Amino acid sequence: MMFCGLYRESICLNHLHFTATIGSIHYQQSFLFMRQSQLFTKTRKEAPIDEVAKNAQLLIRAGYISKEMAGVYNYLPLGLRVVERVKQIVREEMNVVGGQELLMSSMQRKELWESTGRWDDEIVDVWFKSSLKAGGEVGLGWSHEEPIGEMMKNYITSYKDLPISVYQFQTKLRNELRAKSGIMRGREFIMKDMYSFCVDEESHLAYYESTKPAYMRVFERLGIGSDTYVTFAAGGAFTKFSHEFQTICETGEDVTYINKEKGIAINEEVLNDETLESLGVTREELIATKTAEVGNIFNFGQQKAEDLGLLMKDKNGENVPVWMGSYGIGVTRLVGVLVEKFADEKGIVWPESVAPFRMHLVGLNLDDTEIRDYADGVYAMLGAAGIDVLYDDRVEARPGEKFADSDLLGMPYRVVVSRKTKDEGTFEVVTRRTGETRHLTEGELTADFGTSASA
């Protein structure tokens, strides 16, 4: 019974390679589309009382995530799709700047962190630590600066090996004293962290600068480009400032002083006379704005490599420290920011670029076999057109419930099929963000939303 729907897809869309048949078993290779009746998650009218943050309330109500414990969330099928789509956008942009993806371990060596003086809980207060039954302690990765620098010793011996840029999507574990703001500040979260290794200051700074537009492209693709600012923030060991990417967000944790015309943004933590003077702005020109940090890049200079002993032979045969930078984007936090920024009173509103499905096909009057066959046909037609679609094929749910669920789930477009639309021969297409309703023919629908048009 469970696999009825799957079997049906196999039959009608076999020719599109959405399924492969080996012997008599049907393997579905891609979940481009899905029947809502098969989704194990359900929507809720009420959010758990212990969630105050809008992002967590809506994501839990809509069945995207569930809470495991304070600051720790599970990503359910719909939520995972959003995370994966955000990751893919980040991945593509990191690849543009030459990043090579890898995956470091979560368990880290105590001795390595001791060598840079950062194993001590007094120095780093977010450590999760454990011990091996065989003896010895391990840390659970809250950052990968040390391990990745250490590992790169195996691959960097000469200036000829550089530049190198590597990145990963990692589950970071941070023992925060207080988790808050739903998925925006948890103890376990997914982060993209990239590290660059360059031969001299010039190439290092050039690479550092190239990541800013790459980051901005990510945010533009997520629909928050115009609200995101490269922001001067507290620096690291080497430079006066680091650069944060701050997005205007009412529920953000930071306050950023912004001058839109001059394109200058300053985190309040470094707002002082010296900063203002060096950047050529006055306090009066800046507007204090609540923001959420969605990215942060650090220039380590040669300091980090020196601490780690990550040396290369230069042209004169001398051993010199490598120039390093690190570049972070909080992937799961970004999902939270998108919910916070775009949700309305009815629920989530996803940007098209990361919505779990582009289209929500809502079938009404499905207790009528004739209408159900018609709606199933529309579902197959949309799939054939290359549109990723979630199909509310629930027979027992009433229209009001389906519309409310659809609003809550937040797919960019809703297409209603019912006895009425069947009789009229058109499709009712509602844009979630604006509420605009259009009536399209099948040809118009596939032309507007099909694979060729969505590129």
Partner RNA sequence: CGGGGUGUAGCAUAAUGGUAGUGUACGCGGUUUGGGACCGUGUGGCCCGGGUUCGAUUCCCGGCUCCCCGACCA
Q: Which is nearer to RNA, 71 or 351 (CB)?
A: 71
Backbone angles phi, psi at 304, to 5 degrees: -60, -45
**Does residue 398 touch RNA according to CB under 7 A?**
yes
Alpha carbon of residue 71 to chain centroid: 17
Residue with tokens 């220039």: 299
Interface residue with RNA among 223, 295, 328, 330 (CB under 7 A) is 328
**Does residue 179 touch RNA according to CB under 7 A?**
yes
Name every residue whose Cβ is closer than 8 Å to that of residue 392 and which is 6 or more positions away in sequence.
36, 360, 361, 362, 363, 402, 405, 406
**Does residue 126 touch RNA according to CB under 7 A?**
yes
- Tell me the residue type at 4: C
**Does residue 289 touch RNA according to CB under 7 A?**
no
CB of residue 191 to RNA, shortest distance in Å: 10
Q: Which is nearer to RNA, 11 or 52 (CB)?
A: 52
Window 251-280: contact mask with RNA (x via CB under 7 A):
--x---------------------------
Q: Which region, judged by CB under 7 A, interacts with RNA, from 26-34, 123-131, 256-264, 277-285?
A: 123-131
Q: Are 245 and 215 in contact (CB under 8 A)?
A: yes
**Does residue 416 touch RNA according to CB under 7 A?**
yes
Residue with tokens 């009229």: 424
**Does residue 84 touch RNA according to CB under 7 A?**
no
- Of the candidates 453, 455, 421, 454, the residue with the CA atom closest to the CA atom of residue 437: 421
CB of residue 253 to RNA, shortest distance in Å: 6
Interface residue with RNA among 291, 338, 405, 413 (CB under 7 A) is 405
Q: Which is nearer to RNA, 48 or 136 (CB)?
A: 48
Q: Are 118 and 143 in contact (CB under 8 A)?
A: no
SS3 content of the chain, % helix, strand, coil (to 5): 35, 30, 35
Q: Which is nearer to RNA, 13 or 190 (CB)?
A: 190
CA distance 84 to 74: 14
Interface residue with RNA among 81, 144, 185, 221 (CB under 7 A) is 185
**Does residue 51 touch RNA according to CB under 7 A?**
yes
Token pair for residue 207?
A: 């690479």
Q: Are 193 and 328 in contact (CB under 8 A)?
A: yes
Q: Which region, judged by CB under 7 A, interacts with RNA, from 93-101, 203-211, 270-278, 400-408?
A: 400-408
**Does residue 234 touch RNA according to CB under 7 A?**
yes
Q: Are 116 and 149 in contact (CB under 8 A)?
A: no
Q: Which is nearer to RNA, 221 or 422 (CB)?
A: 422
Interface residue with RNA among 2, 25, 134, 177 (CB under 7 A) is 177
Question: What is the DSSP code (8-state) at residue 418?
Answer: S
CB of residue 218 to RNA, shortest distance in Å: 18
CA distance 47 to 51: 7
**Does residue 71 touch RNA according to CB under 7 A?**
yes
CB of residue 34 to RNA, shortest distance in Å: 18
**Does residue 55 touch RNA according to CB under 7 A?**
no
Q: Which region, judged by CB under 7 A, interacts with RNA, from 128-136, 195-203, 234-242, 272-280?
A: 234-242
**Angstrom distances, CA of residue 4 to CA of 7, 386, 392, 394:** 5, 22, 15, 14
**Does residue 109 touch RNA according to CB under 7 A?**
no
Interface residue with RNA among 128, 159, 342, 403 (CB under 7 A) is 403
Interface residue with RNA among 160, 240, 283, 420 (CB under 7 A) is 420
CB of residue 137 to RNA, shortest distance in Å: 17
Backbone angles phi, psi at 64, to 5 degrees: -85, -35
Interface residue with RNA among 27, 44, 114, 288 (CB under 7 A) is 44
Number of residues lying near RNA (CB under 7 A): 59
What b/e string do you get for 396-426 counting C-beta neighbours within 10 Å, with b at 16 or more? ebeeeebbbbbbbbbbbbbbbbbeebbeeeb
- Tell me the residue type at 198: C
CA distance 148 to 150: 5
CA distance 443 to 29: 27
Q: Are 225 and 219 in contact (CB under 8 A)?
A: yes
Q: Are 225 and 285 in contact (CB under 8 A)?
A: no
Sites of contact with RNA (CB under 7 A): 42-53, 61, 69-71, 118, 123-126, 143, 145, 176-181, 185, 234, 236, 242, 253, 296, 298, 326, 328, 346, 364-365, 367, 398-401, 403-408, 416, 418-421, 428, 430
